[in-house]
Chains A and B, each alone.
Chain A
Amino acid sequence: AQTVTQSQPEMSVQEAETVTLSCTYDTSESDYYLFWYKQPPSRQMILVIRQEAYKQQNATENRFSVNFQKAAKSFSLKISDSQLGDAAMYFCAYRHNYGQNFVFGPGTRLSVLP
């Protein structure tokens, strides 16, 4: 079975600085998708960024980018120019190429300090 690990239960960053959240996963599959979701205090789940495993190029969405290391099974999220609104719980998630069985990590709570 696939597993997703986020080794940092909590992180903090100064406003305007850069922070990296770690995620590792375990799978025997070669074709899959990885996601980062943000959950602010409102509890709404918001997709931040998505990466297809067959793509070598790292995904980027504005201030959010990933460092995808397929061989190491690592998928970290970098947030540049951190803003107060980035404060939230961040979840890393895995999904095989087919089907709808998603596996989420335990989450990292990010605080942004003014």
Chain B
Amino acid sequence: EAQVTQNPRYLITVTGKKLTVTCSQNMNHEYMSWYRQDPGLGLRQIYYSMNVEVTDKGDVPEGYKVSRKEKRNFPLILESPSPNQTSLYFCASSPGGHASTDTQYFGPGTRLTVL
């Protein structure tokens, strides 16, 4: 089944404790993105990647890191989480190539709480 998977789905942690949220897609997609969703703000893009070893900042990159060493994986790293990073996080992937067929596929979301 074609899908984007994220782990963990739920995470409660404490301020300053490094964490990684994994994202993996099995569709051989070129593009991958991370978003955070907060009430009243919609989804805001954190980082995106247009290919292996190619990443770029979205609108809210502060406090986050990403890497794209393999095409299928795009982990999100919080080196020193803070309470303002409590949010719902989505990973997404899209095929790339011709823009008109470039539909994003979203993962199921990760609910992160930083105490």
Residues of A whose CB lies within 8 Å of any CB of B are: 1, 4, 6, 9, 33, 43-45, 47, 50, 52, 91, 93, 97-107
Shortest C-beta distance, A88 to chain B (Å), equals 14
In the docked arrangement, what's the CA distance between A56 and B53, Å? 37
User: Does any Cβ of A come within 8 Å of B1's Cβ?
Assistant: no
Interfacial chain B residues near A102, Cβ < 8 Å: 33, 35, 43, 45, 104
Interfacial chain A residues near B109, Cβ < 8 Å: 43-44
Among B16-58, those with CB < 8 Å from A are 31, 33, 35, 40-45, 48-50, 56, 58
What would 15 more interface pairs be, CB under 8 Å, given A33-B102, A106-B41?
Answer: A6-B42, A43-B88, A44-B108, A45-B104, A47-B103, A47-B104, A50-B103, A91-B42, A99-B50, A101-B45, A101-B58, A102-B35, A104-B35, A104-B43, A105-B42
Partner of B92, one of A4, A33, A45: A45
User: In terms of DSSP, what is the predominant structure of the interface of chain B?
Assistant: strand
Mind listing 28 A-B residue pairs with CB under 8 Å?
A: A1-B59, A6-B42, A9-B40, A33-B102, A44-B108, A45-B43, A45-B90, A45-B104, A47-B103, A47-B104, A50-B103, A99-B50, A100-B31, A100-B48, A100-B49, A100-B56, A100-B94, A101-B58, A101-B59, A102-B35, A102-B43, A103-B45, A103-B59, A104-B43, A105-B42, A106-B40, A106-B41, A106-B42
Q: How large is the interface on B (under 10, 10 to 19, 20 to 34, 35 or more residues)?
A: 20 to 34
Shortest C-beta distance, A40 to chain B (Å), equals 12
User: Does any Cβ of A come within 8 Å of B99's Cβ?
Assistant: yes
B45 touches A43 (CB 8 A): no
In the docked arrangement, what's the CA distance between A93 and B41, Å? 12
User: Does any Cβ of A come within 8 Å of B84's Cβ?
Assistant: no
A97 touches B99 (CB 8 A): yes
Task: Choose among B35, B40, B100 the residue with the greatest number of A CB atoms under 10 Å from its CB.
Answer: B100
B108 touches A98 (CB 8 A): no
Among B72-96, those with CB < 8 Å from A are 88, 90, 92, 94
In the docked arrangement, what's the CA distance between A106 and B39, Å? 8
Closest A residue to B103 using CB positions: A47
Interfacial chain B residues near A33, Cβ < 8 Å: 99, 102
